[in-house]
Amino acid sequence: MVGVGWILAIIIGGLAGWIAEKLMHAQMGLVLNIVLGIVGAVVGNFILTLIFGATAGGLLGQLIVAVVGACLLIAIGRAVMGRRSTHA
């Protein structure tokens, strides 16, 4: 996450993961929520930088980017797991 410390990144990541979990109707624990939120923020910021050349600023901007990134990761995970279980 751009411009935030480690503790704030964990807090934003946990919140973003929890919001993504609720939006995507997933069932995950606290640790996975934090991981998905932080990794989602990294993925979201990477995509925004590729498309627009910049990322969203501020805590609210980073939270939104993290939620969208975490939702994207959940959707990708479902697609991969769905494919694996149908061909197994």
What is the H or E stretch that residue 44 is in? helix 30-52
- Does the pLDDT value for residue 88 go beyond 50? no
71 pLDDT exceeds 50? yes
Q: pLDDT digit string (tens) for 14-64?
A: 899 999 999 999 888 888 888 888 898 888 888 888 998 887 778 898 889
What is the spatial distance between Cα 29 and Cα 60, in angstroms, rounded to a whole number? 23
Q: How far is CA 38 from CA 47, 48, 57, 73, 76, in A?
A: 14, 15, 16, 11, 16
The pLDDT of residue 78? 86
User: Model-level pTM?
Assistant: 0.81
**Measuring CA to CA, how many Å separate 39 from each of 13, 79, 83, 87?**
8, 18, 23, 28
pLDDT score recorded for residue 1 = 56
